[in-house]
Every structure is written in structure tokens, then in C-alpha cells.
Amino acid sequence: MSRHRKKERKHPLTNINTTKDKILEVAIDLFSHKGYSGVSIREITREVGIKESSLYNHFKNKDEIITTIFELFRNEFAKTLPPTELLEDILKNSTIQQFFEKGFENFKEHIDHPKNEKLWRIIYIEHYRNSIARELFLNDIIKNTLSFLEIVFEILIMQKKIKPLRPSLLAAEYQYPMFSMLAEYNMLRFDQKDTSEIENKMKEHVEFFLDTVRVDESTQK
Amino acid sequence: MSRHRKKERKHPLTNINTTKDKILEVAIDLFSHKGYSGVSIREITREVGIKESSLYNHFKNKDEIITTIFELFRNEFAKTLPPTELLEDILKNSTIQQFFEKGFENFKEHIDHPKNEKLWRIIYIEHYRNSIARELFLNDIIKNTLSFLEIVFEILIMQKKIKPLRPSLLAAEYQYPMFSMLAEYNMLRFDQKDTSEIENKMKEHVEFFLDTVRVDESTQK
DNA sequence: GTCTATACGAGGATAGAC
DNA sequence: GTCTATCCTCGTATAGAC
């Protein structure tokens, strides 16, 4: 496999080719530990191996660094949800267990990626100080995910796989526990503590939720 | 009602008597907006109306200020859960709806208090940078609340009011959605946005959850 | 317990040579 | 695009008079 041009990189943060990428990588690492105001330009450039003044060839100021990081997060997170157009097909060809287990796996893969993990932490740390982070949280994370799930449940209800409850209620009941369990998961990983308990809770939640809302076709228990 | 001595104050942050209290009040406000490292001693003392050097008569350094704030939060949060000894009595004398609605109201009162709201935000902002905040989150908030609820559900299962599911699963299903909804609620309030939608979701969650796990005595639907 | 004065390193950012 | 040199403000913290 030969090395390709920038445009063809798989993950925008996995291959570091340019100084700008390197700055971003270091900034993400430092911000995710100490927060934006806890990290200085000096610290970033020292770690990158350039002088402070050189950084300003790539970013006009400190704020532009974190703004770029937020944009990066937005793009990465958007990839975790499959396009709505494909949904009906996907749902037709899988059981609801398969669908939610697959979705959970996808998401876990996303959040387990070291860079994404750090991006999430930055959002958590900055979401009160920085209004872009806050909007990202409220719109891109919460709202988009819930809207996506609403559509999922609408379809599943039409397909008679799920009890005819209000889709927005179902979406909330499924997703809100996930948000806080994921936050806890990320916190535990930060301290390199054992995550098996919270991972189990996530799986149990999916099971319990599906058991609660599923229309059981075979046994009609 | 006459003014009493410090020891008898209702809320440790409502009456500001001493310079130390004033410093804490200002620090809480500033930290909750800009984070610990985003706020300087100069800024705090300017707001309080004293010189920088005077602050060091009350706190040995900047870190001691936030440590004190964390301790304050711990105490305030502990008040939101009724003592376990009284639980059985309380549960005997109320329906499960009443119990959970009352618990929710109590908690909402706690989090709506402006000072507590700020304390929560500080925990959110600092919980990756500061290990005390992180422990507070994992132990005092998450673990304690879940342990408390486990006991509640054990009792309710014994009283045949709730289906005989595993208490820890019930506690998780009830509480984890609450954590993230409360985070969203706090975020919306920060921007003074409308909170009626998320408040509704919280209420709907309690309803849905109770409907799911309740043993219906009268109709056995 | 508050003040003035002071120390001194760290902060973001720019000008201009190479 | 990187460097050296420089700017000036802000940062925490202390000494010592009142």
C-alpha cells in the first residue's frame, strides 16, 4: 500500500503530514487534558517542535485552533449516523437486535478511537465556556441523534416491529441513557480504570429497552 | 426573623457575611463561566473589591479556592438524597408516583438554585482537568445516586409495587437518562433558552419508566 | 485583615531577517 | 514557512507597613 495524497487519507487525524496537522494533533491532546485556557501557545509549539511565531503561519490566533478542532469533531461525529436514505433498506434486512447492536458497535468504534475520545473530552470541557462547543453539543450531538432515531422508530413502528409508542419518546428513552453512560465510559478511560461494568450497563440497557418496546412476533408472551 | 450566627445559615451561599464567603461567591460565578484556568486571582479580587494580596489571607493559593468549592458541592449534593433509614417509612406512606415525583421536585429545587447550578457547571468543566472533580462525579453523583436507588427498588420489589427485576438495572434505567437530561437542562439555562421541552422529557421519562416497571394492582392490564 | 510595592515568569502576539 | 528578537500585559505569589 503506497502513501497517497492528503485528500485520500482515511481519518483526518491518523496520518500527520503537515505542520498544521501536527499542531492540531498536539493541541487536541493538550486541550483534552487541560482545557483551552489551561494550555499555552508556548506549550503547543514546544511539543510540536517549532517556535511560537511559526504557529501563526498556520492559525491566525489561539482561538482559530480550537474552532478548527470543533469543525473536525463535527465531521467525525456526522459519520457515526448512517444516511437517512439507506435506513429503510437497512432496517428491512436486519432484526432490531442486529440493527441496534450494529449501531452500538459503530459508535463504540468511533468513541474508542483515541483522537475522537479526546475530541469528546474537549467538547465536555469547553461546552460552558465556548458557545460553539455548546451548540455542537445541543445540535450536532443531541438533536441530530434524536432526530435520526425518531425516523428509525417511525419505520420500525410501520414495520410492526416496535410497539406504536411516540417515536420521540422512544428515541429519548433509548438515547439519553447512552449519553450519560458514554460520558462515564470516557471518564473511566481517562483514568485508565476498568470499563467493563459500564460497558455491561450499556448492553443491558439496549436489551432492556428492546425487550420493553419490541413486538414479539413468535411467542406473543 | 432575626439574623443568626454563621452556623445557623440555611444555605451556605445565600448569605454572604465574610470576605471569604464573598471570594467564594465571586469565584464560583467566574469559574462556572470561564473555568478554573480561565479566571485569574486579579479578576476575582477586582470583583470582590479587595487587593490580590488580601485574598491570600483567606486561601493559601488559587487551588485551595476550587478545592473548597468542590467540598461545598459535595455537601450540597448530599442533601438531595433522603437518609436511607427513613426510606422504608417514606415508601410505605406514598405511592410510587408520589415518591418519584417528590424526588424529582426535590432535585429540581436543588439544581434550580443559582449557586448549585453554577457548582454543577464547574464540575462539568473541570472533571477532566481536576481529579477531585472527576471523583466527585463518579462517586458522589453517579455511584451514590445509583446505590440509593437500588435500595429504593429493593424495597419497592419487596412491597410488590415494582416488577421483580434486578434493582441495579432499574436504578440505571431510571437514573442515567436523568443525568443527561439534567446536563441538557443546565446547558439551556446557561443560554437562557427555553427549557420546557427538556423538562417535559424528564417528566415523560418518569412516567414511561414507572409504567414499564410498575405492578398494576387494580386493573392488572 | 487590608493595603502598597514588587518580583518574575508565563501569556498571546508581531516585525522582520533568512 | 521558520527563525530571532521583542512587546507588553497578565499571572501567582510574597514582604512588610498600617
Residue B218: inside a domain, yes or no?
no
Instruction: Quote the cell numbers at residue A188.
Output: 473511566
Chain A residues in contact with B181 by the CB 8 A cut-off are: 176
- Number of domains present in the structure of chain A: 2
* B 137-166 residues inside an 8 A Cβ radius of A: 137-138, 142
C-alpha grid cell for residue B188? Answer: 439551556
Burial of A61 (0-12, 13-18, 19+ CB in 10 A): exposed
- In this structure, are residues A184 and A124 in contact, taking their beta carbons and an 8 Å threshold? no
Chosen for mutation from B118, B175, B180 (greatest number of chain A CBs closer than 10 Å) is B180
For residue A108, the Cα-to-chain-centroid distance in whole angstroms is 9
The CATH number of residue B22's host domain is 1.10.10.60
Residues 6+ apart with CB under 8 A from B119: B28, B32, B69, B72, B73, B76
Compute the average pLDDT of residues A44-69.
98
Cα dihedral sign, B105-B107-B108-B110: positive
* C-alpha–C-alpha distance, residues B123 and A29, integer Å: 21
Work out the average pLDDT over B4-26. Answer: 71
Cell numbers at A48, concatenated: 510540536
Q: A160 lies in a domain?
A: yes
Tell me if A5 is assigned to some domain. no
Mean pLDDT, residues A139-149: 98
B1 lies in some domain: no
Query: How many residues belong to chain B?
Result: 221
> Is B220 a member of any domain?
no
Same domain, A52 and A120: no
Rounded to whole angstroms, the distance from the CA of residue A63 to the C1' of nucleotide C15 is 22
Dihedral pair phi/psi, residue A36, rounded to 5°: -55, -55
Cell matching residue B122: 464547574
Type of residue at B87: L
Segment B148-177 mean pLDDT = 97
Q: Is A186 inside a domain boundary?
A: yes
Asked if residue A185 and residue A137 are part of one domain, the reply reads yes
Is pLDDT at A1 greater than 60 in this prediction?
no
B37-63 pLDDT, tens per residue? 999 999 999 999 999 999 999 999 999
Domain boundary among B27, B47, B65: B65
- The arithmetic mean of pLDDT across residues A196-213, rounded, is 98
Is B164 within the bounds of a domain?
yes
For the stretch A155-164, contacts whose Cβ atoms lie closer than 8 Å and that sit 24 or more positions apart, written own/partner, are A155/A87, A155/A88, A155/A91, A156/A91, A156/A96, A159/A91, A159/A92, A160/A215, A161/A96, A161/A214, A161/A215, A162/A96, A162/A213, A162/A214, A162/A215, A163/A213, A163/A214, A163/A215
* Residues B157 and B59 placed together within one structural domain of the fold: no
Residue B4: pLDDT over 90:
no
Instruction: Please choose, from the candidates A153, A149, A213, the residue with its C-alpha nearest in 3D space to the C-alpha of residue A176.
Output: A149
Measured from the Cβ of residue A216, the count of other Cβ atoms closer than 10 Å reads: 9
pLDDT at B17: 83
Mean pLDDT rounded to a whole number for chain A: 92
For A33, which of B128, B142, B180 is closest by C-beta distance?
B128
Whether A91 and A195 share a structural domain: yes
Residue A129 has phi, psi (to 5 degrees) of: -75, -35
Of A70-74, A153-157, A213-217, B37-41, give the lowest mean pLDDT range.
A213-217
Confidence band for A34, pLDDT divided at 50, 70 and 90: very high
Please answer yes or no on whether A37 and B35 come within 8 Å at the CB atom: yes
Where do we find the cell 446505590?
B147
Residues A38, A40, A44: CA angle, nearest 5 degrees: 115
Same domain, yes or no: A127 and A203: yes
- Considering the domain architecture, whether residues B76 and B180 belong to the same structural domain is answered as yes
Boundary-marking domain end, from B32, B48, B65:
B65
The answer on A184 and A135 residing in a single domain is yes
User: Which residues does B202 contact at the CB level (< 8 Å), separation at least 6?
Assistant: B104, B178, B181, B182, B185
What amino acid occupies position B9? R
The answer, yes or no, to whether residue B104 has pLDDT greater than 60, is yes
Within a 10 A sphere around the Cβ of A88, how many other Cβ atoms? 14
How far apart CA A163 and CA A147 sit, in angstroms, is: 19
Same domain, B61 and B74: no
**pLDDT of A2-29, one tens digit each?**
444 444 445 655 677 899 999 999 999 9
Is pLDDT of A220 > 60?
no
B110 and B170 housed in the same domain: yes
| DSSP 8-state code for residue A39 | S
Residue B124, chain A, CB below 8 Å: the answer is yes
Q: Is the pLDDT of residue B219 over 60?
A: no
Q: What is the C-alpha separation between B67 and A148, in angstroms, rounded?
A: 41
Contact B128, A33 (CB under 8 A): yes
Residue A16 class from Cβ within 10 Å (0-12 exposed, 13-18 middle, 19+ buried)?
middle
Residue A82 grid cell: 448512517
Q: What's the Å distance between residue A20 CA and nucleotide C18 C1'?
A: 21
Give the pLDDT score at B216: 76
Structural domain that includes position B39? 6-65
Among candidate residues B14, B31, B65, the one where a domain is terminated:
B65
For A17, the grid coordinates are 503530514
Q: Is the pLDDT of residue B3 over 50?
A: no
Average the pLDDT over B123-139 and give the result.
Answer: 97
Query: Does residue A192 reach within 7 angstroms of strand D, measured from its CB?
Result: no
Q: Which residue has the higher pLDDT, B101 or A12?
A: B101
The closest CB to that of A187, out of B32, B137, B173, belongs to B137
Is the same domain home to A54 and A93?
no
**Mean pLDDT along residues A198-205:** 98
* Calpha distance A104→A110 (Å, rounded): 10
Is B81 inside a domain boundary?
A: yes
Burial of A221 (0-12, 13-18, 19+ CB in 10 A): exposed
| pLDDT, mean over chain B | 92
Q: Apex CA B8: angle with CA B3 and CA B13, to 5°?
A: 85
Find the mean pLDDT for residues B163-185. 98
CB A40, CB A34: distance < 8 Å:
no
Residues contacting residue B120 through CB under 8 Å, at least 6 positions apart? B73, B111, B186
The alpha carbon of residue A49 and the mean position of all alpha carbons in its chain are separated, in whole angstroms, by: 30
Helices (H), B3-94: 19-34, 41-48, 52-55, 62-78, 84-92
Distance between CA B206 and CA B208 in Å, rounded? 6
Put simply, the answer to whether A169 touches B208 (Cβ < 8 Å) is: yes
B15 lies in the same domain as B57:
yes
Whether B129 and B85 map to the same domain: the answer is yes
